[in-house]
Amino acid sequence: MGTRVLEDGSEQYVTKGDVTVTRSRREIAYEDAITSYVERLDERRGAVLSSNYEYPGRYTRWDVAVADPPLGISSFGRSMWLEAYNERGEVLLDIIGAHLAEIEEITLGVRQ
């Protein structure tokens, strides 16, 4: 199955891991594009990545923002932790954990 366009213009597809992904786009003024995300980060998890560097024909400005991610990845030394932040994260954690369990060099455990 490929990407399916929904009635509202959103696009939906199913990954090989059987996760349904729905993405939508909306046009907003560039100057205000990430303001609401930046404000949310005072109290919620997320990230804003931005480049305002422009060079005609080569580089363009861009912004990427996410708020309330489903899971987080942390590491220290040679240890890594995956933590689900919500129900969507629990689903992803199960899928990722199953794949990690297949890698001989990785020891899985529960963080105390």
* pLDDT bucket at 107, cuts 50 / 70 / 90: confident
Kindly state whether residues 62 and 31 are assigned to the same domain.
yes
Residue 40 lies in a domain: yes
Quick check: 78 pLDDT over 90? no
Kindly state whether residues 52 and 78 are assigned to the same domain.
no
Kindly state whether residues 64 and 76 are assigned to the same domain.
no
HEC string of 12-77? EEECCCCCEEEECCCCCCHHHCCHHHHHHCCCCCEEEEEECCCECCCECCEEEEEECCCEEEEEEC
The domain total for the chain is 2
* pLDDT bucket at 13, cuts 50 / 70 / 90: very high
